[in-house]
Amino acid sequence: MLAAGVAWSLYGFVIEPMQDRIHTLRRVIPEKQNELREVRALSDRYLALHRTVDNLRARMTEQDSDFQLLPFLEALIEQQGLTPVATMERDTISSQPGYTETLVEIDLADITLQQLLDFLQAVETSGALAHVSSLHIRRSPADKMHLQSTIQIRSPRLDSDAVVADATQP
C-alpha cells in the first residue's frame, strides 16, 4: 500500500506536471520560432532603413551648403526648354528632428507627355538631393494633345539650428 501511495504521489507531483509542461512546450516552441523569424525579418528591415538614413545623411552633408532648390529647378526647366506658369517655394519642417525640407511647387502648361517625363527623369538623375513628392497631370483644355501639370519637388537638408543627438548611435 505504501508503494502504491509513493507511486501515485510520484505520478501526481512529478510525472503529470512534466507531461503537461512537455505538451505546453510542443505548442509554444513553434509559436516562438515564428515570432523569432518575424523579429529577424524586422531587424533586417530596420538595418536596411538605418543604412538608407545613413546614406541620405551622408548625401546631405556632401551637398553644397549653398544649394538652393528653386534656382536649381529653374535652371533645369530652362535646360529642358519648358516654360513654367508658376513656381512657389517654401521651407517645411520635416517629421524628423534636425532636418528641414524645401518644397517647390511648379505649374507647367501646354507640355507633352515626353517633355514631362524628360523633366522628371532629369530631376531624379540630377545628383542633387531632390525628389518628386507629388505629381498631378491634367489634359490641357485648349489642346487635347498637351498637358497641364503641377509638380511638388522636395529637397531635405540638415537643419543647422537644431541640436541633434549623436547620429552614430542606432
Residue 119 C-alpha cell reads as: 523633366
Identify whether residues 48 and 5 lie together within a single domain.
yes
Residue type at position 59: R
- The answer to whether position 164 is within a domain reads no
Give per-10-residue mean pLDDT for the chain (170 aa): 85 88 94 96 96 85 80 90 84 71 89 93 87 91 87 82 47
Grid look-up 523579429 returns 39
Identify whether residues 77 and 125 lie together within a single domain.
yes
Identify whether residues 98 and 54 lie together within a single domain.
no
pLDDT value of position 168: 47
Q: Of 15, 38, 62, which closes a domain?
A: 62
Q: How many residues are present in the chain?
A: 170
CA-to-CA dists, residue 104 to 55, 68, 72, 80, angstroms:
23, 10, 11, 17
pLDDT, one tens digit per residue, over 110-142 is 899 999 999 999 998 887 888 899 999 999 888
Supply the range of the domain harboring residue 53.
Answer: 1-62
pTM for the model? 0.62
Q: Of 62, 90, 109, which closes a domain?
A: 62
pLDDT value of position 93: 63
Instruction: Please calculate the CA angle 63-69-93 and round it to the nearest 5 degrees.
Output: 85
Q: How many domains does the chain have?
A: 2
